[in-house]
Structures are given as C-alpha cells and as structure tokens.
Amino acid sequence: MAVSPVAARSAAGVGTVSDTKPADSEQFRITHVTPAYWQVTINRPPFNIFGPDAVPELARVLTQIERDPKLDMYAAR
C-alpha cells in the first residue's frame, strides 16, 4: 500500500494538510501554494463564523505553521 505525500509529510512532522482537503476538521483549509507560502482559509460556510469551538483547530494550524522550516509566509483569509 502506497503512502500519500500528505501522510509522508505528516510522519516527518512537516505540513500535515493537503492542498485539497481541510485540516483535521472542516473548520480550516490550508493551501500549500508553494513550500514557502501557505494560505489558511476559515472554512465554515455560509458565514465563516469563528467561534470558541474553532480555537483548538486554529491552535493545530498555528503549530503546523510554526514547525515547518520551509514556510516563510502565510495568508489568513
């Protein structure tokens, strides 16, 4: 069974989110535009409301950002 690139990066502790699937939940989507630039999108249609239940997920996203040595910039939207 082949290991996906996302799983390989996850096992290595680098960038655990794919370009097409949301992060650990449906609340945030990370797009790896380049290894050095990511876009983080609040993914809570229809209004993209950020509530207290999103805080743990945001913490996981920020941890991924902090741990990736290749990442130079990210845009939150």
Domain ranges of the chain: 5-76
Q: CA 66, CA 51: separation in Å to the nearest integer?
A: 23
Q: pLDDT averaged over consecutive 10-residue blocks of the chain (77 residues)?
A: 43 44 66 94 80 88 94 91
| Separation between Cα atoms, residue 3 and residue 71, nearest integer Å | 23
Report the pLDDT value the prediction gives residue 25, as an integer from 0 to 100: 58
Instruction: Indicate the Cα dihedral angle 27, 31, 37, 39, nearest 10°.
Output: -40
How far is C-alpha 5 from the geometric centre of its chain's CA atoms?
Answer: 14
Q: What is the pLDDT of residue 61?
A: 92
Provide the CATH topology of domain 5-76: GMP Synthetase; Chain A, domain 3 (3.30.300)
pTM of the model: 0.60
pLDDT of residue 19: 46
